């Protein structure tokens, strides 16, 4: 299985820039996607194919990377961005990272 590793939690102040990382145990080309999940809700697609913004997602969100290292950036962070963010790869079956919980100071 392709294992995706994310840092468990981050805390930032509104208005700041935050980068959430995801490292794959093997190369996944650009088959990396990002989701946002708020408590009690289903995941919501933010970024697909590493850097493409999903429909309806604010331009404050962006993605980058290829191969094994990927980053989701939020700039600037707003209070509504409090959530858990998951990366997912779709090159070798489908696996998800453990999630990064974003909290606002």
Partner 1 sequence: QVKLLQSGAALVKPGDSVKMSCKASGYTFTDYIIHWVKQSHGKSLEWIGFINPYSGGTNYNEQFKRKATLTVDKSSSTAYMEFSRLTSEDSAIYYCARWQQPYCFDYWGQGVMVTVSS
Quick check: bond before 76 cis, omega within 30?
Answer: yes
Shortest distance in whole angstroms from residue 9 CB to partner 1: 13
Which of 48, 2, 56 minimizes the C-alpha distance to 25? 2
Question: What CA–CA distance (Å, rounded) separates 54 from 37?
Answer: 15
The region of 12-20, 58-66, 67-75, 92-100 touching partner 1 under the rule CB under 8 A is 92-100
- Of residues 10, 12, 53, 54, which one binds partner 1 by CB under 8 A? 54
Shortest distance in whole angstroms from residue 103 CB to partner 1: 15
Shortest distance in whole angstroms from residue 104 CB to partner 1: 20
Is there binding between residue 31 and partner 1 (CB under 8 A)? yes
Is there binding between residue 64 and partner 1 (CB under 8 A)? no
Q: Cβ contacts of residue 10 below 8 Å, gap of 6+? A: 18, 20, 100, 101, 102, 103
Question: What CA–CA distance (Å, rounded) separates 1 from 18?
Answer: 29
Binding site for partner 1 (CB under 8 A): 31, 33, 35, 41-45, 48-49, 54, 86, 88, 90, 93-99
């Amino acid at each position: 299985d392709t294992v995706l590793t994310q840092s468990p939690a981050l805390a930032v102040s509104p208005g700041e820039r935050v980068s959430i990382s995801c490292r794959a145990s093997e190369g996944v080309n650009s088959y990396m996607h990002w989701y946002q999940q708020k408590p009690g809700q289903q995941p919501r697609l933010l970024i697909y194919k590493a850097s493409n913004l999903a429909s309806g997602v604010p331009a404050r969100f962006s993605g980058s990377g290829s191969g094994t290292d990927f980053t989701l950036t939020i700039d600037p962070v707003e209070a509504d961005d409090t959530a858990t963010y998951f990366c997912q790869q779709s090159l070798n079956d489908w696996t998800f990272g453990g999630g990064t919980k974003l909290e606002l100071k």
